[in-house]
Structure 1
Amino acid sequence: MNTDTPDTHRASPPNAPVRKSLSKAARWRVLMAVMVAWLPIAMDMTILHIAVPSLTLSLQATGTEILWIIDIYPLIMASLLVPMGTQGDRIGPRALLLVGLAIFLVASLAAAFSPTARFLIMSRALLAVGAAMIVPSVLAIIRITFEDWKERAMALGIWGTVSTVAAAMGPLAGGILLEHFWWGSVFLINVPIILGILPLAAMLLPKPQVKTRGSWPIGQALTLAAGLMGTVYAVKAVFKQGASLLLCGGALVCGVTLLTLFVRRQLTAATPMLDLGLFRLPAIRVGLVTALVVSGALAGVELTIAQELQFVLGRTPLQAGIFMLPIMAASAVGGPLAGKLVVFGGLRKVCTLSLLAAGASLAGLGLASFHDAGWLVASYMVVLGLSLSIGLTASSIAIMGSVPPEKGGAAGSIEALGYDLGAGLGITGFGVLLAANYSSALRLPEQLRQSLPHGVADSISDTMVAAELAGGEQGRIIAEAGQAAFSAAHSTVLLSAAFLVCLLGIWVFNGLRNYTPGEQGKT
Structure 2
Amino acid sequence: MTTTPKHDTTGGTPAASPAENRRWAVLAICCVAAALLGIDNSVLNYAIPSLSRQLGPSSTQLLWIVDIYGFVLGGMLVVAGNLGDRIGRKKLLLMGVTGFGVASALTAYADSPGMLIAARALLGLAGATIMPSTLSLVRSAFSDPKERTTAIGISSGVAAASFALGPVVGGLLLDHFWWGSVFLINVPVMALVLVAGLLVLPESRNPHPGRLDWVSVPLSVVGMFGIIYAIKTGARNGVDDHTVWLTAAVGAAALIAFMRRQTTVAAPLLDLKLFRNAAFSGAIASNAVTMFTASTLSLGASLYFQVVRGWSPLTAGLALLPGPLSAAFAAPLSALLIPKIGRARTVALGLVLLAVSTAGLGMVTPHSSYWWLLPVLVVNGVGIIFIFSVTSDTILASAPRTATSAAAAISETAMEIGGALGIAVLGSVLSTLYRNDLRLPGGVSAQTAGAAEESVSAGVETGGKLSGATGRHLIDAARQAYCHSLHTTTLVAAGIMLVGAVAALFALRNVPAVLDDRTDGDADAAAVTGACEPKDAAPAAAI
Q: TM-score, normalised by structure 1?
A: 0.85
| Partner AA of 2:134 in structure 1 | V
Name the structure 1 match of 2:42: 46
Tell me, yes or no, if the aligned pair for 1:227 and 1:257 is still in contact at 8 Å. yes
Distance 2:170 2:245 in 1: 38
Contact 2:61 2:113 in 1 (8 A): yes
- Out of 49-58 and 366-375, give the one that drifted further: 49-58
Distance 1:69 1:190 in 2: 18
> Where does 1:64-213 land on structure 2 (aligned, <5 Å)?
70=66, 72-113=68-109, 122-207=118-203, 209-213=205-209
Question: Does 2:344 match 1:348?
Answer: yes
Separation in 1, partners of 2:114, 2:466: 27
SS at match of 1:340: helix
Q: Which residue of 2 aligns with 1:407?
A: 403
Deviating more after overlay: 175-184 vs 93-102:
175-184
More displaced stretch, 202-211 vs 402-411: 202-211
| Distance of aligned partners of 1:380 and 1:407 in 2 relative to their CA distance in 1, 3 Å threshold | same
Q: Distance in 2 between matches of 1:492 and 1:200?
A: 48
What is the CA-CA distance between 1:134 and the residue it aligns to? 0.4
Instruction: Map 1:324-363 to 2 at 5 A.
Output: 324-363=320-359
Structure 2 counterpart of 1:367, one-letter code:
M
| 2: CA distance, partners of 1:506 / 1:445 | 45
Give 1:128 deviation, angstroms. 1.5
Aligned equivalents of 1:240, 1:225: Cα separation in 2 = 22
Which residue identity does 2:347 align to in structure 1? C
> Are 1:317 and 2:313 an aligned pair?
yes
The residue number in structure 2 matching 1:512 is 508
Would you say the 8 A contact 2:283–2:392 is kept in 1? yes
Relative distance call for 1:372 and 1:244 in structure 2 (3 A) is: closer
Aligned residue number for residue 391 of structure 2: 395
SS in 2 for 1:159: helix
- Report what 1:12 is aligned to: none
Gaps spanning 5+ residues in structure 2: where?
6-14, 525-543
Residue of structure 1 equivalent to 2:434: 438
Pairing 1:457–2:421 present: no
Question: 2:423 corresponds to which residue?
Answer: 427
| Corresponding residue of 1:231 | 227
Counterpart CA distance in 2 for 1:305 and 1:170 is 15
Greater CA deviation, 504-513 or 87-96? 504-513
C-alpha contact (below 8 Å) 2:107/2:183 kept by paired residues = yes
Q: Provide closer, same or farther for how the CA distance between residues 110 and 431 of structure 1 changes in structure 2, counting only shifts above 3 A.
A: farther
- Does the alignment pair 1:522 with 2:518? no
What is the distance in 1 between the residues matched to 2:485 and 2:419?
20
Alignment of 1:26-65 (within 5 A): 26-48=22-44
Q: 1:279 is matched with which residue?
A: 275
Distance 1:36 1:208 in 2: 20
Distance, in Å, in 2 between the alignment partners of 1:461 and 1:64 is 20
Q: Deviations over 1:299-342 (max 9, x none)?
A: 22222212221222121222212211320231122221112211
* Kept after mapping to 1: 8 A contact 2:287/2:387: no
- 2:501 equivalent to 1:500: no
CA 1:79–1:242 in 2, change beyond 3 Å: closer, same or farther? closer
Determine if contact 1:175/1:320 at 8 Å carries over to the other structure: no
Contact 1:63 1:458 in 2 (8 A): no
- 3-state SS of the aligned residue for 1:358? helix
Deviation readout 1:355-396 (Å, 9 max, x if unpaired)? 111111110111133522243321111111011111110111
Deviation at 1:42, TM superposition (A): 2.0
Distance in 2 separating the partners of 1:50 and 1:298? 20
Q: Residues 341 and 350 of structure 1 are in contact (CA less than 8 Å); yes or no, is this contact kept in structure 2?
A: yes
Count residues with an aligned counterpart.
Answer: 506
Residues 1:270 and 2:271 aligned together: no
Q: Is the 8 A contact 2:213 2:265 kept in 1?
A: no
1:367 aligned counterpart, secondary structure: coil
TM-score (norm 2): 0.83
Q: Could you tell me how far 1:172 is from its partner in structure 2?
A: 3.0
1:292 and 1:178 map into 2 onto residues whose CA distance is 34
The 3 A distance-change label for structure 1 pair 497 and 118 is farther
**Secondary structure of the equivalent of 1:45?**
helix
| 8 Å contact kept, 1:89–1:212 | no
- Alignment partner, residue 371 of structure 1: 367
CA gap of 1:478–1:220, structure 2 versus 1, over 3 A, is: same
Following TM superposition, by how much is the alpha carbon of 1:220 offset from its aligned partner in structure 2, in angstroms? 0.3
- Aligned partner of residue 268 in structure 2, secondary structure: coil
Q: Go from structure 1 to structure 2 and tell me whether the alpha carbon gap of 1:125 and 1:341 turns closer, same or farther (over 3 Å shift).
A: same
Q: Write the distance in 1 (CA, Å) between the matches of 2:48 and 2:489.
A: 18
Structure 2 CA distance, aligned partners of 1:179 and 1:145? 40
**1:400 shift after superposition:** 0.9
**C-alpha distance in 2, partners of 1:144/1:440?**
52
CA contact (8 A) 2:20 2:141 kept: no
How far apart, in 2, do the equivalents of 1:173 and 1:329 lie?
Answer: 15
Separation in 1 of the partners of 2:141 and 2:294? 31
Of stretches 195-204 and 472-481 in structure 1, the one that deviates more from structure 2 is 472-481
- Pairing partner for 1:381 from 372, 377, 383: 377
Q: Which amino acid aligns with 1:288?
A: I
Q: CA deviation at 1:184?
A: 4.2
CA 1:87–1:177 in 2, change beyond 3 Å: closer, same or farther? same
CA–CA separation in structure 1 for the residues paired with 2:185 and 2:366 = 30
CA offset digits 1:12-58 (Å, max 9, x no partner): xxxxxxx9932544222222222212111122333345667777888
Q: Secondary structure at the match of 1:368?
A: coil
